[in-house]
Chains A and B, each alone.
Chain A
Amino acid sequence: MSDQHHPSGHDPAVAHHFESADQQYQSAKLGMWVFLATEILLFGGLFVAYSVYRSNHPEIFIFGHRFLDKNLGALNTVVLIWSSFTIAWAVRAAQLKQIRLLKWLLVATMVFAFVFLGVKVGEYSSKWKHGLLWASRYAPHAEEHVGVDHNAAATSNEASREVGSSGKPAVVAASAGSAPESGSSRSTIPLAPEGPAGLAVEGEGSAVGHETSLLEPANARIFFSIYFLMTGLHGIHVLGGIGAMLWLLLCAFRGDFDGGHFTRVDMVALYWHVVDVIWIYLFLLLYLIH
């Protein structure tokens, strides 16, 4: 980071162990790509867990994904795509020494990132309210705590509960004060709305497997374990990206990019694009299950 003039006359921006600025830049790039490969493998491990569990217990995914709001997921996807656009543009701005534009683009990218996190916080708290959590914390109930203790029955393989009081997959508002009928335990957990109007299949939704998909399978909690683990890890990466962008913003204020040294911006942008790509797959595999 030293900009002081060296007596030997070599470019102060090039570290001593590099022959040239270009070699330094290419090394940084390669290093970042290797790191990104490790990130792919990190999430890859979780995708393996997903694949194995989905192939062995598809009913859990067909059941669980109904509690994820496709619209919010799609919104988040679009938000991240836009953030990739703004940060790619930021790299261009840094390359062309358009510092003011660079600052605004960094801010824009961070705003998008915060929107993403905000939506996630909303989704997570809704799950929390309804007890749709991971592993042993899975205890679904409607907001008025009118619901059945799923833990006891879930251990038995015969356990099946009808979800949704009317059988329609539309948003079922938790009916205030409705007590479960004795014997038949009816959950009043509201389901996520089905897709934007106009794109949804007319009527009650897909008839294929409709009735069976409403039955809560044993170990439905695993879906939520996987959901929280994967999106949670991704969210932490988003948070890290925001931190890196804050740092870039400070560097921009300090004048580090005035001379056209854009490598830092380039590297953070590469990281951010991977975060975006991972979400594209997460959205598909968790929210868009048919």
Chain B
Amino acid sequence: MTANTTTIDPVSRDALAERRRLGMWLFLASLGMLFAASLVGFLVIRLRAPEWPPAGSPGLPTAFWISTALLAAVSALLAKAEGAIREGRGSRASRLLAAAAVLGVAFVLSQASGWARLLADSQLPQNNLYLFGIYVLTFLHALHVIGGLGPLIRAAIRSGAGRTTADDHGGVTLVAMYWHFLGLVWLGILAVLAL
């Protein structure tokens, strides 16, 4: 898929990186629409409900706050990895990326824990939309986290194998953009749920 970009002259290489970043921005914009739509849907449910949160609904599980911390850590690790790649330290970047992947998996686990707790604590009637709304939002997000693990692990392997140099960030920047975006979306979901 990728040409051997390390031998291309600097100007074209910059242009290539620029194009890829633009592509990522456009992709994130479209994802943003998806998440925005789900948020709007949730808000419609919330604003039309006679009582919010509905009686018998469980509070936000602490697991969700742990999730938040995990995503923040992922963003920090990825930023560090970007910096490491720029300095040509591929193996350090690889370690950071791998750590981020581990935290990404931990995020999914903490989400699952949160879902389980919500189910257990809920006293809501079966046809109540409160939990449904929460699940839709967080599940959609978690799916994208799982999807993001693939490229993240691939980036970790590539930089570890020395196939990225200071001149070729090997998609680390793109992966970082994606995960920062997921972090922001998570903050948006939290805001809508917690406030």
Contact = CB atoms under 8 A, between A and B. Distances in A.
Asked if the two chains touch in their complex, CB atoms less than 8 Å apart, one says yes
B46 interface: no
Interface in B132-183: 166-167, 180
B110 interface: no
B75 A250 contact: yes
A4 B80 contact: no
A255 interface: yes
B10 A254 contact: no
Contacts, number: 37
A4 B13 CA distance: 10
The residue among A6, A121, A252, A255 with the most chain B CB atoms within 10 A of its own CB is A255
A196 interface: no
Interface residues of chain B: helix, strand, loop or mixed (majority): helix
A250 B9 CA distance: 29
A251 B79 contact: yes
B83 A254 contact: yes
B17 to A, nearest CB: 7
The residue among B9, B14, B76 with the most chain A CB atoms within 10 A of its own CB is B76
A3 B10 contact: no
Contacts of B84: 255
B79 A3 contact: no
Contacts of B167: 4
Contact of A3 (B75, B76, B86, B180): B86
Contacts of B83: 253-256, 258
A253 B10 contact: no
B167 to A, nearest CB: 6
B14 A253 contact: no
Nearest to A250: B79
A209 interface: no
A86 to B, nearest CB: 19
Interface string B46-87: 000000000000000000000000000001100110111011
B13 A254 contact: no
A249 B195 CA distance: 25
B46 to A, nearest CB: 15
Nearest to B75: A250
A224 to B, nearest CB: 21
A255 B84 CA distance: 8
The residue among B79, B87, B166, B167 with the most chain A CB atoms within 10 A of its own CB is B79
A2 B75 CA distance: 20
B10 A6 contact: yes
Interface string A1-38: 01111110000000000000000000000000000000
Contacts of A249: 76
Nearest to A258: B83
Nearest to A7: B10
Contacts of B10: 4-7
B82 A4 contact: no
A270 B181 CA distance: 26
B86 A255 contact: yes
A253 B80 contact: yes
26 contacts: A2-B17, A4-B10, A4-B13, A4-B14, A4-B166, A4-B167, A5-B10, A7-B10, A121-B195, A249-B76, A250-B75, A250-B76, A250-B79, A250-B180, A251-B79, A253-B79, A253-B83, A254-B79, A254-B80, A254-B82, A254-B83, A255-B82, A255-B83, A255-B84, A255-B87, A256-B83
- Nearest 9 A-B pairs (CB), nearest first? A255-B83, A253-B79, A254-B79, A254-B83, A250-B79, A254-B82, A253-B76, A253-B80, A3-B86
Given A2-B14, A7-B9, A7-B10, 13 more contacts: A3-B86, A4-B13, A5-B10, A121-B195, A250-B75, A252-B79, A254-B79, A254-B80, A254-B82, A254-B83, A255-B80, A255-B86, A255-B87
